[in-house]
């Protein structure tokens, strides 16, 4: 059984695949507690793999790309689920904090490391050896050496994303600082924005 927070069709709002239609499968539960997390982990329903696949088909309206997210999807997503979704013809993305090994067969891995988040509760040590993209949430407090370390992580793409604090004034200041950080290392980073929030969609 899988604990599922929600399943819905939307556009990927962040990183390399921004603007791409995807079915989001949001797992409930995480091994870390980040101060800016916007997922209600108390809300979930238990689903079998067959029920999950049926819900994906109903929500997806023909979309063949799935994003496994959370929470931390690696706590629940396993080889059986990956195989079943692949056999049903889906391409599988995952958004992970990288603290746990991932099942084989994933088509795209987005690493969003949390080890350096202030006030983090839990061990955010990344164990993944590589990813397709790194999406580093930037709250303005990360020192240059930490930013440089994640820029060197083995991945084809590296995105710096300003943290959404819920305060428009602080968000504007963080965006300005994020842009300055990227411009100071133009060969290392690209900007990622939470465009789904800017568009007012899920």
What CATH number is associated with residue 66? 3.20.20.70
Query: For the segment 89-117, what is each residue's pLDDT rounded down to a tens digit?
Result: 999 999 999 999 999 999 999 999 988 87
pTM of the model: 0.94
Average pLDDT, the chain: 93
Q: Which of 6, 27, 30, 93 is catalytic?
A: 30
Convert the pLDDT of each residue in 115-157 to its tens digit: 887 767 778 899 999 999 999 999 988 999 999 999 999 999 9
Q: Which domain holds residue 105?
A: 2-199
pLDDT at 118: 76
Active site (annotated) includes residue 163: no
Domain total in the chain: 1
How many other C-beta atoms are found inside a 10 Å radius of the C-beta of residue 93? 24
**Among this protein's residues, is 6 annotated catalytic?**
no
Q: The tokens 């695949």 sit on which residue?
A: 17
Q: Please, what's the b/e burial string for 141-164 (b: 16 or more CB within 10 A of its CB; e: otherwise)? A: ebeeeebeebbebebeebbbbbbb
| Residues 76, 70: Cα–Cα separation, whole Å | 10
How buried is residue 183: exposed, middle or buried, by Cβ count under 10 Å (0-12/13-18/19+)? Answer: exposed
Q: Is 20 a catalytic residue?
A: no
């Amino acid at each position: 059984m899988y604990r599922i927070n929600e399943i819905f069709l939307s556009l990927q709002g962040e990183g390399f695949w921004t603007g791409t239609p995807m079915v989001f499968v949001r797992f409930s539960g995480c091994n870390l507690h980040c101060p800016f997390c916007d997922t209600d982990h108390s809300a979930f329903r238990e689903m079998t793999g067959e029920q999950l696949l049926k819900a994906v088909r109903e929500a997806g309206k023909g979309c063949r790309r799935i994003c496994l997210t959370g929470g931390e999807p690696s706590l629940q997503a396993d080889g059986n689920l990956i195989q079943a979704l692949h056999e049903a013809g889906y391409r599988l993305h995952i958004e992970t904090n990288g603290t746990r090994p991932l099942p084989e067969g994933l088509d795209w891995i987005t690493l969003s490391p949390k080890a350096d988040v202030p006030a983090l509760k839990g061990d955010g040590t990344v164990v993944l050896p590589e990813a397709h993209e790194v999406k580093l949430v930037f709250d303005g407090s990360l020192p240059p050496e930490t930013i440089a370390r994640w820029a060197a992580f083995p991945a084809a793409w590296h995105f710096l994303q300003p943290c959404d604090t819920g305060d428009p004034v602080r968000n504007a200041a963080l965006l300005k600082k994020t842009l300055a950080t990227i411009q100071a290392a133009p060969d290392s980073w690209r900007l990622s924005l939470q465009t789904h929030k800017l568009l007012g969609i899920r």
